[in-house]
Amino acid sequence: MAQRRDHSRVLIYSHDSFGLGHLRRCRAIAHALVDRNEDMTVLILSGSPIIGSFGFKRRVDFVRVPGVIKLRNGEYTSQHLKLDTDETLALRASIIQHTAEVFDPDLFIVDKEPLGLRGEVRETLELVRNRGNHTVLGLRDVMDDARLLAPEWERKHAVPALDALYDSIWVYGLPQICDPLEGISVPPSVRRKMVYTGYLRREASGRELPHPVPIDGPFILVTPGGGGDGEELVDWVLRAYETDRNMEHPALIVLGPFMQLERQQEFQRRAAVLSDVVVETFDSQLEDVMARAVGVVAMGGYNTFCEILSFDKRAILVPRVRPRLEQFIRASRAEQIGLVRMLPPDEGTDELAMIRALRTLPYQKRPSEVVIPGLLEGLDSVNKLVARELREGGEIVLPAFARAAAVVGGE
């Protein structure tokens, strides 16, 4: 192992090449770590093709591995290179391992996939542990319906990896919303590693909006996240504005960079004839837009949900149900608690349902009216956990909500 330094290094791995969720979650954690630790450097490993479109704070940087995309049949293929899948995955695994060898992280955080894409981080996890350093698996609050997740994890040999290759498992949520391993058979040794952090709070930069809505006053933000599977949501909202020409608030629709170009152009043409709808393709600082909105219409991905809570926005969630039930589970649980309103996606042909929801959105309760201890303490908890892992060792002193969550999670 390399000689110990007077500063600490954290390596974060995010496997996904499609969508924004994994990247934005890892970026939020990296920024929170360097904000509160002047002696820390964070490096992100990512397959995202648009990672360079985001700004990063000093002492945070990234290494981009070749991208892959998942086909409709479930198989993966290289996103840009003329390489077969095995060659692409071998190249990714080599870059990941070599980066860890040279960067020599004190802490390696893996996002969501215990062994990475097709097992590409197994050897890197073993390398880090053999050097006596720490490994952490970070899980969002909801993974998927257990009936779908259990066979997937069995196929990927995920549970043995949790037991053998990880020191800790951090859940970026609370059990009042969901236990991500609910219905999954895991040994007590794995349950003991689990810590609930709370959700990851987001902040706005305070910059001016690049394209303000053309009507003075409050507006409704419509965001399908990365946009790759958000066409039905955008179409539903546009049909509502096309049907009701006297909506109380204008809409700002941010399509997302992964939406098909043909659909982007179609939505832009439809919005061009509406005086109260503005369409943008992408905004790398969507937090600033959301902070100014009177309400939000979204699909219910993890990051958007964190932003809704952080900026205390009234929200309508229209979750996807394919290929995963993650968003539906999160949205339905959040609605039960009273944090948001959910419109089932199977109502998507009913313009009147969306019109009613949009008209009543500004009068919903705010999330802050529901008192949930530790709800937005995720980044504070992550910093405390990192400090204990790297500096003090021994037993971690958990905040009250995390201790209670650990008991619930082990039932």
Where exactly are the structural domains of the chain?
Answer: 8-201+376-409, 220-369
Residues in the chain: 411
Residues 6+ apart with CB under 8 A from 354: 236, 237, 239, 240, 343
Half-sphere exposure of 137 (CA within 13 A, CB side): 26
Structure-block tokens of residue 290: 């959301």
- Whether the CB-CB separation of 166 and 195 falls below 8 Å is answered with no
What's the CA gap between 68 and 111, in Å, rounded? 17
Looking at per-residue pLDDT, the higher value among 17 and 88 belongs to 88
Q: What is the mean pLDDT of residues 317-324?
A: 88
Strands 60-64 and 168-172: unpaired
Whether residue 1 is predicted with pLDDT greater than 50 in this model: the reply is no
- In tens, the pLDDT along 241-295 reads 999 999 999 999 999 888 899 999 999 999 999 999 999 888 777 888 899 899 9
Confidence of residue 406 (pLDDT cuts 50, 70, 90): very low
Strands 68-70 and 76-78: antiparallel
Query: So what's the pLDDT on residue 411?
Result: 31
- Whether the CB-CB separation of 15 and 113 falls below 8 Å is answered with yes
Whether residue 342 is predicted with pLDDT greater than 60 in this model: the reply is yes
Query: So what's the pLDDT on residue 289?
Result: 86
Structure-block tokens of residue 174: 């609370």
Structure-block tokens of residue 192: 């003991």
In this structure, the number of other CB atoms found within 10 A of the CB of residue 1 comes to: 8
Number of H helices, E strands in the chain: 14, 15
- Whether the CB-CB separation of 320 and 346 falls below 8 Å is answered with no
User: What superfamily in CATH does domain 8-201+376-409 come from?
Assistant: Glycogen Phosphorylase B; (3.40.50.2000)
What's the CA gap between 255 and 232, in Å, rounded? 11
Q: Which CATH number fits domain 220-369: 3.40.50.2000, 3.40.50.2300, 3.40.50.150, 3.30.428.10?
A: 3.40.50.2000
Structure-block tokens of residue 301: 């991905």
Confidence of residue 234 (pLDDT cuts 50, 70, 90): very high
Query: So what's the pLDDT on residue 230?
Result: 86
What's the CA gap between 120 and 221, in Å, rounded? 38
Query: So what's the pLDDT on residue 404?
Result: 43
Q: What share of the chain is helix, strand, coil (3-state, %, to 5)?
A: 40, 15, 45
Q: CA 25 from chain center: how many Å?
A: 5
Query: So what's the pLDDT on residue 9?
Result: 96
- Whether the CB-CB separation of 252 and 219 falls below 8 Å is answered with yes
Query: So what's the pLDDT on residue 235?
Result: 95
Confidence of residue 324 (pLDDT cuts 50, 70, 90): confident
Whether residue 232 is predicted with pLDDT greater than 80 in this model: the reply is yes
What's the CA gap between 160 and 186, in Å, rounded? 9
DSSP one-letter string for 252-301: EEE--TTS-HHHHHHHHHHHHT-TTEEEES--TTHHHHHHH-SEEEE---
Phi/psi for 62 (5° steps) reads -140, 155
Q: Do domains 8-201+376-409 and 220-369 have the same CATH topology?
A: yes
Q: Is 185 left (phi over 0), alpha (psi -120 to 50) or beta?
A: beta
Query: So what's the pLDDT on residue 287?
Result: 86
Whether residue 407 is predicted with pLDDT greater than 60 in this model: the reply is no
What's the CA gap between 49 and 167, in Å, rounded? 30
Query: So what's the pLDDT on residue 400?
Result: 54
Phi/psi for 31 (5° steps) reads -65, -40
3-state secondary structure of 6: coil
Confidence of residue 170 (pLDDT cuts 50, 70, 90): very high
In this structure, the number of other CB atoms found within 10 A of the CB of residue 234 comes to: 26
Q: CA 52 from chain center: how many Å?
A: 18
Query: So what's the pLDDT on residue 16?
Result: 74
- Least confident piece of the model among 25-39, 144-158, 201-215: 201-215
Confidence of residue 220 (pLDDT cuts 50, 70, 90): very high
What's the CA gap between 400 and 107, in Å, rounded? 25
DSSP letter at 125 equals: H
Q: Which candidate, 331, 367, 214, places its Cα nearest to that of 279?
A: 214
Looking at per-residue pLDDT, the higher value among 258 and 188 belongs to 188
Max Cα separation, the chain? 68
